[in-house]
Amino acid sequence: MKHIDSHLHVRGESQYVDDVPPPAEMLHAAVYGSPCAHGIIENLDLEKARAVDGVMAIFRAEDLPGTNCFGPIFQDEELLASSEVNFIGQPVAIIVAKTPEIARKAREEIEAEISPLPVVVDPRVAFKNGDFVDQPRTNSMGDVEETWKDCDFVVEGRCDMAGQEHVYLETHRARAIPREDRCLQIFASTQSPAALQSAASVLLGLPIHKIEVDVKRLGGGFGGKEDQATHWGCMAGMCALLLQKPVELVLNRLEDIQMTGKRHPYSCDFKMGLTKEGKILAYDVSHYQNSGAFADLSTPVLERTIVHSTNAYYIPNVRVFAAPCRTNLPSNTAFRGFGGPQGMFVIESAINKAAEVIGMPAEEIQAKNLISEGQYLFYGQPIKNCTIGRTWKQTCEDFDLEGVRQRVKSFNEENFAAKKGFALMPICFGISFTKYFLNQGNSLVHVYLDGSVGVTTGGIEMGQGISTNMATIAARTFGIREDRIKVESTNTTRVANMSPSAASATTDLNGNATICAVEQILDGMKEVALVELGVEDKSKVQIVDEVVFYDGSESVLTWEELVLKTYMKRRRLSAHGYYSTPGVYFNPQKGRGNPFAYHVFGTSLIEVTVDCLRGIYTIDQAKIVHDIGRSINKTVDIGQVEGALAQGLGWMTLEDLQFGEDGRCLSHALSTYKAPDVYFMPDDMEVRFLEDSTNKFGPLGTKAVGEPPFMYGIAVFFALRNAMKAFSPKTQFEFNSPLTPERVLMELHKDIPLIPAPAGKGVLVDS
Amino acid sequence: MVYKTKFILNEQLVETDCAPGMLALDYLRRQEWKTGTKEGCKEGDCGACTVLVGSLQEDESVRYEPVTSCLLPLGELEGKHLVTIEGLNMTELSPVQKAIVEEGGTQCGFCTPGIVVSMNGLLMDKSKTVDLEGIKYALSGHLCRCTGYRSLKSTATLLSERLGEHLTADDRLSSLVAAGALPNYFVEIPGMLREIAPEPITSENGNGLKKADFLIAGGTDLYVQAGEKIPDAKVQVLNLLPGMKGINRVNGHYQIGALTTFEEFGNSPEMQEVIPDLGHFIHLIASWQVRNRATLSGNIINASPIGDMTALLLALESELILQEAGKERIVALKDFYKGYKQMDRKKSEILTAIRFPAPAPGTKINFEKVSKRTCLDIASVNSGMLLLVEDGVVGKIQFTLGGVAPIPLLLCETGGFLSGQPITLENARRAIEITQEEIAPIDDVRGKADYKRLLAKQLFIAHLTKLCPEKLKVREFYDL
């Protein structure tokens, strides 16, 4: 089966929020964001804006009917800033007008008077100031301080990682329609309908059941719509409720980049102790997370950074310090990997530093320290069904690591300005929400009298293929054709209290719930079949390819007939399935527990060529062996791996999110923020799934796939660095990402002085 | 006066009184409710809004080009055929659509309609091949955040296998219709377009050349800068003016019509002869969709210090032919810029053509560009060099740099120093020092000033070692 929506996608017929014909009298909203990164609003002059022809209303914080206070973990955020503003673009007022153009034109007329307060954009500065969104934490195992003296080598260093813009192709949007009895229906592009629904309930002062959120699909999410879609849905809802008219709010790209949070930038210090054979004995790391202005999801993101700080390695002595530092940037938020990539990048940096100092290839240190079955990760969870060693070995063999090594070596000997480099990246990524209560899923399955089936789950289709997976799971569990299944929109009136579609766990949670719902229906159907066939053992009834089998033999009873007979016998044809992941728990204070149902493993190999004269580079090949368990749908799963890899490569190289000292986003458009394009990605790219793997926690034996492959991209950083070392072996290169062509060229030439510039000749240059 | 635009939208003739400066994207989504065309960035950077524009050619055939509708003024569609994804749909999936479905080349689906349109554009373009390189060419202006592109690239094999001889047929469009790759109505379009062929507009009968707030030669940068103002303003779409296209050799000069697009320039056999590596240089500039609309004059008049074409044309010793009320004036491009976005041009003057002397035999030309992303990105620094070495010394040199000063810069001092000198390491090093005194870059989102200074040096080395590989090697510049 191909992606269930693909035939609509290629015809341009898939409907996103604002593609659905609008209801009569629909109005359009635009958001006025703070022009200042930190300050107190002294005055906001709305008179001129209100006078613009076609403007229907302008709302501020005081217009909210409920409590102006929300947030997913801590309720520390206002929907509209009432007095203090904490980042540039923070919503302060909403303009509602007859067209979006009028609303934006009116916005230009708003004048704000804001008394500035100090602006902090650097997490280390916030740390010094003691300004956190939550308390810093230290988690450890063993005793690092006692171990340094036993090490042959101890290396230290620092990493700085920039953030990353999600660049979902569909920007944030929502359409709210007032319904009778002060009810609201909100169509939104959100990964978390329940979060939007509960936030709207608080902000608008309505019980949750009066707010219906419906999501058909997203034009990409990647975490950016996990929590931060809530704001826009609530704003559309607020306007619709107050004006009693349908209101649509669509952010344009510039607004979207300026007003919403991104992947967290981190600044980190590391210290690693090893034996001369390359065995890691101790690892100490401090993560200074740039959380942005409000808590948002920063603390769970940081939690995942902590637990993934040792990546796929067994290290007996570990100490991880982590501080979520408050700055005057948009609140940073979920993004594929959810803090894991940052944690892993630091330990890979430490290993590469150690490799330089010991004089041993990094991949040798990596291989020697890979975790194996039964060994404990430092947060107290033993590794089970460990396949990291297998994926590593298969990557090296299938993709001829030795050949790559030789080829790179001789290329570098033959060429002066062009240098090649390669690197491997093993990954070990835990599956489950670390907020363990979120590990539950619901599914509502209806069988209609013609034998067609409708499935609604709490999972959001954002391109990742959840609908395709749900259809396959339902069809295979029933024993019927996939085209009988329709996967419905995700709707809070059909599934309540759903967890966000996040943490790679959407197929696991909702797929298992779907199996549970299907089995309830099947149970009754099988009893009906027993009567029809005049047999007795329910366990011997099976539906295969739409025909009822008994004890392995085909009967005359078809799916369609059985459905009708089940109805006539007054047995259920609808069921609600519920699933919660067994055995997961985590104590965040102690940093210990069994947070994950299982881990996903895999290894990537990436080779690059750097043009050391110009500082530009190409990715020559990307090869991956990935443990998917038993793939439900190879097309969907390969697509997840390749897409995640592309984002990981982008994060490490050209995606250059820049903020000024004043907190202004400098790369706030797709003309200045570059994501991987068709030429950037290597033509030589291959993903292989590990054979003979399964997973008892995943529906039909699959393993979660959304996030883990993102981190394969980390290899590109070290491949580039290795190529740079081939050009200039004595240079001490930094561990700062992204490794843009600018960084590459400047680093390559940092020991070669440039003719000094004459003073005072700077002039304006832009596009 | 109500200005009407008449064109064919998919299979229907439409006449609209929407403002000529209105974006085709907004028109399609809001007036026609053709929602298959998506808005992703409104800057021509993502391709989600790609449509095809068909124009009647002299030989009565219709040539289709993919363009981003987010930078396309409605007025420019006068007498044209506008094709959206809806206009490519048939009862069954087309070969392009089928190939994308089968290869798993769509996930969230938001970028997909635009990609389908460009890939159809590729099939319809006789000058392109349907293979891996062709597909990449077609996708050069598209962002897909979900797939990583491998599955999209894989469609090349399926398409070339399935369409086979239809891709080499002389009458490509009819052949594609016969193959079920295009709807039947495409064969009717040439006739329909002949009937609505617009009257040529002159500065006299046009909608007020002098009074226009915006003159649009392509608009691919203008809309990025002033997109929200243009729909309500008075605009003159210059593409409706005749006689400003084409490349001719006149009296030892190449004369290029001001409205020649980047793509036309890059595909011109004359230009490829003058600049043998032109194909590679063009690859570094914008995307297929943007090159189909961006014009040489637009690049020059936009006056960006990092205009790619400007850096190249400056190295070619270009001159500009400016016209006002029938009177012509010629200005050297090197003297045209007076400061940041300041030009030696009156508001009512129109740039009608660009000309440059045919380079003397033995002249070598190179273009360098470094940007964050190799394709569809704005340069951190770009650079052109024209070099003629005669009798062992530099007979002529034109070295240009963009992004290092308020204007596209011709490095006169550097060139002056090298003229008459042999190409030696010592002279090159001295030239690098002189260059550093001539430039004045600043920090911005495309790079720190130090980086741009370093690039100025590196690109100079790149030019010399590429143009005179027998005289200089990159390693000689390093003490590693």
CATH of domain A22-118+166-259: 3.30.365.10
Q: List the structure tokens of A652.
A: 């490490």
* B103 falls within a domain: yes
DSSP letters, A244-263, are TS-EEEE--HHHHHHHS--B
The answer to whether A545 contacts chain B (CB < 8 Å) is no
Q: For residues B385 and B398, what is the distance between their CA atoms, to the nearest angstrom?
A: 5
The answer to whether A684 contacts chain B (CB < 8 Å) is no
Looking at the complex, report in whole angstroms how far the Cα of residue A244 sits from the nearest Cα belonging to chain B.
23
Q: Which residues of B touch A644 (CB under 8 A)?
A: 148
Q: For tokens 């929502």, name the residue.
A: A174
- pLDDT 10s digits, B337-385: 999 999 999 988 999 999 999 999 999 999 999 999 999 999 999 999 9
Give the list of residues 6+ apart from residue B280 with CB closer than 8 angstroms, or none.
none
Residues 303-332 of chain B with CB under 8 A from chain A are 304-306
Q: For residues A14 and A5, what is the distance between their CA atoms, to the nearest angstrom?
A: 7
CATH number among 3.40.50.300, 3.40.47.10, 3.40.190.10, 3.30.365.10, domain A440-580: 3.30.365.10
DSSP letters, A30-50, are EEEEPSSSSEEEEEEE-HHHH
Same domain? B391 vs B342: no
* B315 falls within a domain: yes
Burial of B452 (0-12, 13-18, 19+ CB in 10 A): buried
Q: Find out whether A302 and A326 touch, Cβ atoms under 8 Å.
A: no
Which residue of chain A has the CA closest to B455?
A614
DSSP reduced 3-state for A369: coil
Looking at the complex, report in whole angstroms how far the Cα of residue B325 sits from the nearest Cα belonging to chain A.
31
The distance in angstroms from the start CA to the end CA of chain A is 46
Looking at the complex, report in whole angstroms how far the Cα of residue B158 sits from the nearest Cα belonging to chain A.
16
b/e burial code for range A390-413 (CB count within 10 A of at least 16 → b):
bbbebbbeebebeebeeebeeebe
Q: Find out whether A528 and A447 touch, Cβ atoms under 8 Å.
A: no
* B215 falls within a domain: no
Looking at the complex, report in whole angstroms how far the Cα of residue B140 sits from the nearest Cα belonging to chain A.
6
How many CB atoms are located within 10 Å of the residue A56 CB? 18
Size of interface A-B (CB pairs under 8 A): 292
The answer to whether A752 contacts chain B (CB < 8 Å) is yes
- Could you report the predicted ipTM of this complex, rounded to two decimals? 0.97
Q: What residue type is assigned to position A460 of the chain?
A: I
Q: For residues B273 and B254, what is the distance between their CA atoms, to the nearest angstrom?
A: 12
Q: Which residues of B touch A671 (CB under 8 A)?
A: 41, 43, 45, 224, 378
Same domain? B179 vs B43: yes
Q: For residues A335 and A312, what is the distance between their CA atoms, to the nearest angstrom?
A: 21
Q: Find out whether B315 and B386 touch, Cβ atoms under 8 Å.
A: yes
Range in A16-20, A488-492, B76-80, B202-206 with the lowest mean pLDDT: B202-206
Contact B146 A671 (CB under 8 A): no
Which residue of chain A has the CA closest to B375?
A679
Same domain? B267 vs B311: yes
Q: Are strands B381-390 and B393-402 parallel, antiparallel or unpaired?
A: antiparallel
* B233 falls within a domain: no
For chain A, the domains span 22-118+166-259, 266-433+589-748, 440-580
DSSP letters, B160-205, are HHHHGGGGT-SSHHHHHHHTTSS-GGGGGHHHHHHHTPPPPP-TTT
Q: Which residues of B touch A462 (CB under 8 A)?
A: 108
Contact A3 B104 (CB under 8 A): yes
Q: Which residues of B touch A674 (CB under 8 A)?
A: 372-373, 377
- pLDDT 10s digits, B410-469: 999 999 999 999 999 999 999 999 999 999 999 999 999 999 999 999 999 999 999 999
Phi first, then psi: give them for residue B394, nearest 5 degrees: -70, 115
Give the list of residues 6+ apart from residue A437 with CB closer than 8 angstroms, or none.
none
Q: How far is CA A360 from CA A156, A281, A354, A652, in A?
A: 17, 16, 8, 24
Same domain? B392 vs B310: no
- pLDDT 10s digits, B22-36: 999 999 999 999 999
The answer to whether B116 contacts chain A (CB < 8 Å) is yes
Which residue of chain B has the CA closest to A757?
B436
How many CB atoms are located within 10 Å of the residue B285 CB? 26
| Helices and strands (DSSP H and E) totals, chain A | 19, 30
Give the list of residues 6+ apart from residue B75 with CB closer than 8 angstroms, or none.
B3, B5, B20, B21, B216, B235, B237, B240
Q: Tell which residue, A370, A352, A350, A373, has the closest CA to residue A362.
A: A352
* B274 falls within a domain: yes
Which residue of chain B has the CA closest to A101?
B228
Which residue of chain B has the CA closest to A741?
B372
DSSP reduced 3-state for B124: helix
Q: How far is CA A499 from CA A191, A227, A440, A741, in A?
A: 9, 11, 7, 40
Contact A219 B108 (CB under 8 A): yes
* B217 falls within a domain: no
Q: Find out whether A677 and B373 touch, Cβ atoms under 8 Å.
A: yes
Q: Which residues of A touch B303 (CB under 8 A)?
A: none
The answer to whether B10 contacts chain A (CB < 8 Å) is no
Asked if the domains A266-433+589-748 and A440-580 are classified in one and the same CATH topology, the answer is yes
pLDDT along chain A (767 residues), means of 10: 94 98 97 98 98 98 98 97 98 98 97 98 98 96 98 98 98 98 98 98 98 98 98 98 98 98 98 98 98 98 97 98 98 98 98 98 98 97 97 98 98 98 98 94 98 98 97 98 98 98 96 98 98 97 98 97 98 98 90 95 98 98 98 97 98 97 96 97 98 95 97 98 96 97 96 63 44
Same domain? B256 vs B348: yes
Last residue of some domain: B336, B357, B378? B357
CATH of the domain at B344: 3.30.465.10
Q: Which residues of B touch A684 (CB under 8 A)?
A: none
Catalytic residue, from A226, A255, A303, A707: name it: A707
Active site residue A707: yes
CATH of the domain at B159: 3.10.20.30
Quick one: DSSP state of residue B31? I
Same domain? B384 vs B327: no
The reply to whether the predicted model has a pTM over 0.90 is yes
Q: For residues B308 and B246, what is the distance between their CA atoms, to the nearest angstrom?
A: 20
Quick one: DSSP state of residue A764? -
Q: Tell which residue, A301, A356, A351, has the closest CA to residue A325.
A: A301
Structure confidence at residue A754 (pLDDT): 66
Q: What is the dihedral of CA B176, B182, B183, B189, to 10 degrees?
A: -80
Sheet with A137-141, side-by-side order of all strands: A137-141, A317-326, A280-292, A266-274, A153-161, A735-737
- pLDDT 10s digits, B155-199: 999 999 999 888 888 889 999 999 999 999 999 999 999 999 987
DSSP bridge partners of A623: A605, A686
Residues 245-264 of chain A with CB under 8 A from chain B are 252-253
DSSP reduced 3-state for A232: helix
Q: For residues B355 and B252, what is the distance between their CA atoms, to the nearest angstrom?
A: 10
Is residue B205 predicted with pLDDT exceeding 90?
Answer: no
A266-433+589-748 topology per CATH: Aldehyde Oxidoreductase; domain 4 (3.30.365)
Q: For residues A572 and A306, what is the distance between their CA atoms, to the nearest angstrom?
A: 47
Give the list of residues 6+ apart from residue A469 with CB closer than 8 angstroms, or none.
A507, A511, A632, A633, A636, A699, A702
DSSP reduced 3-state for A416: coil
Domains identified in chain B, total number: 3
Phi first, then psi: give them for residue A669, nearest 5 degrees: -145, 165
Same domain? B255 vs B313: yes
Contact A417 B46 (CB under 8 A): no
Helices (H), A479-558: 506-533
Report CA torsion sign: B134, B137, B138, B143: positive
Phi first, then psi: give them for residue A614, nearest 5 degrees: -100, -15
Q: Which residues of A touch B226 (CB under 8 A)?
A: none
* B225 falls within a domain: no
Report CA torsion sign: B201, B206, B209, B212: negative
Q: Find out whether B132 and B156 touch, Cβ atoms under 8 Å.
A: yes
Structure confidence at residue A274 (pLDDT): 98
Which residue of chain B has the CA closest to A668?
B445
Q: For residues A620 and A607, what is the distance between their CA atoms, to the nearest angstrom?
A: 5
The answer to whether B92 contacts chain A (CB < 8 Å) is no
Last residue of some domain: B334, B357, B380? B357
Which domain does B27 fall in, by range?
A: 5-195
* B212 falls within a domain: no
B407: left (phi over 0), alpha (psi -120 to 50) or beta: beta
CATH of the domain at B444: 3.30.390.50
Contact A679 B136 (CB under 8 A): yes
Structure confidence at residue A761 (pLDDT): 45
Q: Mutation test of the interface with chain B: which of A7, A10, A635, A659, choosing the one with the most B Cβ atoms within 10 A?
A: A10
Same domain? B306 vs B281: yes
E strands along A595-733, which residues?
598-611, 616-626, 684-689
Give the list of residues 6+ apart from residue A348 with CB closer than 8 angstroms, or none.
A311, A425, A714, A717, A718
Phi first, then psi: give them for residue B288, nearest 5 degrees: -55, -50
Q: For residues B221 and A322, what is the distance between their CA atoms, to the nearest angstrom?
A: 45
